[in-house]
Structure 1
Amino acid sequence: MAKVLAVLYPDPASGYPPEYARDGIPAVDAVGDVLLTHADALDFAPGQLLGCVSGELGLRRFLEAAGHEYVVVSDVTGDRSDFLRELPTADVVVSQPSWPIHLSAARIAAAPRLQLAVVAGAGTDGIDLEAAARRGITVAETSATATVSIAEHAVMLMLTMAHDFLAAHACVTDGGWDIAGSVERSYDLQGMRVGVVGAGAVGLAVLHRLAGFGVGLHYSDPVRLRPQLETELALTYVPDVAALVRSVDILSIHAPLTPETYHLVDEAMIESMPRGSYVVNLARAELVERDAIVRALSSGRLAGYGGDAWYPEPPPITHPWRSMRHAAMTPHVAGATLPAQARSAAAVREILESWFAGAPIRSDFLVVSGR
């Protein structure tokens, strides 16, 4: 039998929810070609908070009924964290991008029993994939389960910044009624030019959702989309990101973090953008240069920055992005809506079922095949 170690974010500060805002979630047969598998057999009701410690990804009954040990922790800080204490005896590790762990080569070496690492969400940049492959460790992720949620979040941030929603909301919550002050930076999205960097699953979903907003759609990706799709969505392909940013009003980044994309959006690139541009980054924080963003918002070179990913995570209270003006920041929640959690938990269960049965893991989920 296996020991499964799950590293999940802590419960809400107000306590695990005794009830929810809605009864369940809208029924969807498939999202991004990833089904909410064997729904009748799941040990949770879709719409529950699953990603935190008490939610346990809805896996405890399934695992313990099969004789496996299931350990759930949230402490990932320091050399004496619960995660590091449990890791050496774990056969399987399940983690989340929104509460990241780092499986470095050294940590993999210190976990002799580890055979499977699963990311419940999008992004395996916290795992040394080469070290995992050398050890024969299988790595999987459930990225497709968060595609819709992240794409909707991106469009929300664009609208939030363009309409200056945060200033208008603060006006009423602060007891004011400053109409002129609430709209002095408010614009329609219609007529703007939006550039998407990375036309993978999320980037393409963003383009689809923006098609009805009357915006000019541009994108950059190493692999060009099908001509039929470009025609259908009225897309303009720009091979070079540096050229793309010079010709758009909103830049939405959906690229992986690699040595080539590290600080992709730096001070020089920001200076080349039209004054008053907006940047949305729902991928990884280090795709942009942190302090260059702060300076550009202060100077007015950028009109807004919308972000969900931070470095480090969780960020210290002194992190400059916490106090930037004209910024719409969220704590890495874009892919963690309750429907996304249901899809991700179901996908994690499917991965584990396949793994325990010695069956192939669905190609949508597989990152490194260790056996």
Structure 2
Amino acid sequence: MPYLPIAVGPLTPRTPPIKILNFHQHKVSFSTHFPNYTYFFNPQKSSHEAILYKGGNAATSEPRLLGTTENQLGIRKWLESQGHEYIVSDSKEGADSDFQKHIVDAEILITTPFHPGYLTADLIAKAKNLKLCVTAGVGSDHIDLNAAVKSGIQVLEVSGSNVVSVAEHVMMSILLLVRNFVPAHEMIERGDWMVSDIARNAFDLEGKVVGTIGAGRIGYRVLQRLIPFDCKELLYYDYAPLPEAAAKAVNARRVEDLKEFVSQCDVVTVNCPLHEGTLGLVNTELLKHFKKGSWLVNTARGAICDKDAVAAALASGHLNGYAGDVWNVQPAPKDHVLRTAKNVLGGGNGMVPHYSGTTLDAQARYASGTKSIIENYLSNKAQEPQNIIVGIGKYETKAYGQR
């Protein structure tokens, strides 16, 4: 399968106790992918503080919302029992934020893709004690990975923790666009009933050509889930071909030219990491090559698709729909163009908050995986190879554009 990192040896020993900074929903020093955690470990004891997204009443009443500042990935007692400081907060923007205040002496940073603490090269330069960054979830584009390589900071994520969750969300998004579900439900809420207004833009998925940009852990699972729908053809665009047996199992054909790929698809779904090579990948120029009336789904990263170009393509009728849960800025501003963008018939918008990979099932997996990564680090044990994005001074994956 594409995007699989290679193995590395044990991590460098460290001396406890340390300071963990969590930029998610609770006072822990780490930041994750969805509820966004930012954890820092510091060689000294200090006050507990965490940077995470606030879970509010929902987190108070539902303890399985582990990716929040309230429930703190469920690891506070475990860390504090070993004498480590666990800082959790949702404050991550600006020089006065908890994130920037505590990153200077943190040893471990935990973040999430859902409320990420953006670790820039400038912040890395100030983080003299930082040794390990953990993404509680999948996707570490909120970290300047090149700067991490140069500084000898390791970057790990909980690979596979939410791939099923996201793949299922992709399938839901495809169906709600193709079947024109959102306008139909809005009609019912308004108390109206005009079947023809909905049916004129509702189609079957059967017989359509569906393609994924990226055929890694998520993209491949999307292809698997498309099989029962009897699509005309399944396509994929990726820098590397699938193993022959894997491609045969889903009967998917690789198209090496991106413009040629999108020109053949009725539905395009984006399932690739964000890096220099995919930033703004779906732009005005590429959208010209999409089939007129096609649908686009993006649950990867918002910045892969140019928001203004997508909105314009919807308004012109070139795109019939756009759905996903990722935004170029998170939380998305109230006036973000993709909150209200519509197709020529007033539908075609399936956008939601970034939650596809943070179901309660996924949170249990990425919380457990985060604890395992930290436990391995503290006990100087080898990490699971598939979780390592940046080892000591080098990349251990090709998923972020390293070729």
TM-score, with length taken from structure 2: 0.82
| Distance (Å, rounded) in 1 between the aligned partners of 2:102 and 2:278 | 34
- What is the aligned partner in structure 2 of residue 286 from structure 1? 303
Q: Is the CA contact 2:154–2:390 (under 8 Å) kept in the aligned structure 1?
A: yes
SS in 2 for 1:190: coil
Pairs aligned (count)? 344
- What is the aligned partner in structure 2 of residue 360 from structure 1? 382
- What is the aligned partner in structure 2 of residue 64 from structure 1? 80
| Distance (Å, rounded) in 1 between the aligned partners of 2:265 and 2:188 | 32
| 1:108-127 matched pairs, under 5 angstroms | 108-127=124-143
SS in 2 for 1:78: coil
Q: Is the CA contact 1:50–1:58 (under 8 Å) kept in the aligned structure 2?
A: yes
Q: Is the CA contact 1:3–1:70 (under 8 Å) kept in the aligned structure 2?
A: yes
Counterpart residue identity of residue 327, structure 1: N
Structure 1 residue 298 and structure 2 residue 315: aligned?
yes
| Distance (Å, rounded) in 1 between the aligned partners of 2:265 and 2:151 | 45
Q: Is the CA contact 1:297–1:303 (under 8 Å) kept in the aligned structure 2?
A: yes
| Distance (Å, rounded) in 2 between the aligned partners of 1:277 and 1:98 | 28
Which of 249, 254, 264 aligns to 1:247? It is: 264
Two-structure CA RMSD over aligned residues (Å): 1.5
Structure 1 residue 212 and structure 2 residue 228: aligned?
yes
SS in 2 for 1:150: helix
- What is the aligned partner in structure 2 of residue 269 from structure 1? 286
Q: Is the CA contact 2:55–2:70 (under 8 Å) kept in the aligned structure 1?
A: no
Q: Is the CA contact 1:194–1:251 (under 8 Å) kept in the aligned structure 2?
A: yes
Structure 2: gaps of 5 or more residues: 1-16, 25-51, 343-347, 394-403
- What is the aligned partner in structure 2 of residue 370 from structure 1? 392
Structure 1 residue 238 and structure 2 residue 260: aligned?
no
- What is the aligned partner in structure 1 of residue 187 from structure 2? 171
Structure 1 residue 333 and structure 2 residue 350: aligned?
no
Q: Deviations over 1:197-243 (max 9, x none)?
A: 11111111110111111112111111111222222222111111111
SS in 2 for 1:314: coil
SS in 1 for 2:288: helix
Which of 223, 235, 244 aligns to 1:227? It is: 244
- What is the aligned partner in structure 2 of residue 200 from structure 1? 216
Structure 1 residue 145 and structure 2 residue 161: aligned?
yes
Q: How many percent identity over aligned positions? A: 35
Q: Is the CA contact 2:325–2:354 (under 8 Å) kept in the aligned structure 1?
A: yes
**How far off its partner does 1:13 sit?**
4.9
SS in 2 for 1:333: coil
| Distance (Å, rounded) in 2 between the aligned partners of 1:124 and 1:230 | 27
| Distance (Å, rounded) in 2 between the aligned partners of 1:340 and 1:53 | 17
**How far off its partner does 1:15 sit?**
4.4
Q: Is the CA contact 1:140–1:365 (under 8 Å) kept in the aligned structure 2?
A: yes
| Distance (Å, rounded) in 1 between the aligned partners of 2:205 and 2:350 | 16
Q: Is the CA contact 1:3–1:90 (under 8 Å) kept in the aligned structure 2?
A: yes
**How far off its partner does 1:129 sit?**
1.7
Q: Is the CA contact 2:137–2:157 (under 8 Å) kept in the aligned structure 1?
A: yes
**How far off its partner does 1:195 sit?**
0.8
SS in 2 for 1:195: strand
- What is the aligned partner in structure 1 of residue 399 from structure 2? none
SS in 1 for 2:161: helix
Q: Deviations over 1:137-185 (max 9, x none)?
A: 1110113101101111111100010111111111111222222223221
Counterpart residue identity of residue 205, structure 1: R
| Distance (Å, rounded) in 2 between the aligned partners of 1:174 and 1:79 | 46
| Distance (Å, rounded) in 2 between the aligned partners of 1:17 and 1:158 | 33
| Distance (Å, rounded) in 2 between the aligned partners of 1:59 and 1:206 | 32
- What is the aligned partner in structure 1 of residue 275 from structure 2? 258
| Distance (Å, rounded) in 2 between the aligned partners of 1:119 and 1:231 | 33
Counterpart residue identity of residue 91, structure 1: E
- What is the aligned partner in structure 2 of residue 11 from structure 1? 54
Q: Is the CA contact 2:23–2:53 (under 8 Å) kept in the aligned structure 1?
A: no
Which of 318, 322, 325 aligns to 1:308? It is: 325
- What is the aligned partner in structure 2 of residue 27 from structure 1? none
Q: Is the CA contact 2:154–2:391 (under 8 Å) kept in the aligned structure 1?
A: yes
Q: Is the CA contact 1:163–1:186 (under 8 Å) kept in the aligned structure 2?
A: yes
SS in 1 for 2:285: helix
**How far off its partner does 1:2 sit?**
0.7
Q: Is the CA contact 2:21–2:106 (under 8 Å) kept in the aligned structure 1?
A: yes
SS in 1 for 2:183: helix
| Distance (Å, rounded) in 2 between the aligned partners of 1:12 and 1:56 | 10
**How far off its partner does 1:283 sit?**
1.1
Q: Is the CA contact 1:278–1:303 (under 8 Å) kept in the aligned structure 2?
A: yes
Q: Is the CA contact 2:113–2:138 (under 8 Å) kept in the aligned structure 1?
A: yes
Q: Is the CA contact 2:54–2:90 (under 8 Å) kept in the aligned structure 1?
A: no
Please say which of residues 344-353 and 7-16 is displaced more in the overlay. Answer: 7-16
Counterpart residue identity of residue 16, structure 1: A
Structure 1 residue 80 and structure 2 residue 96: aligned?
yes
| Distance (Å, rounded) in 2 between the aligned partners of 1:358 and 1:311 | 37
SS in 1 for 2:160: helix
- What is the aligned partner in structure 2 of residue 90 from structure 1? 106
Q: Is the CA contact 1:120–1:143 (under 8 Å) kept in the aligned structure 2?
A: no
SS in 1 for 2:148: helix
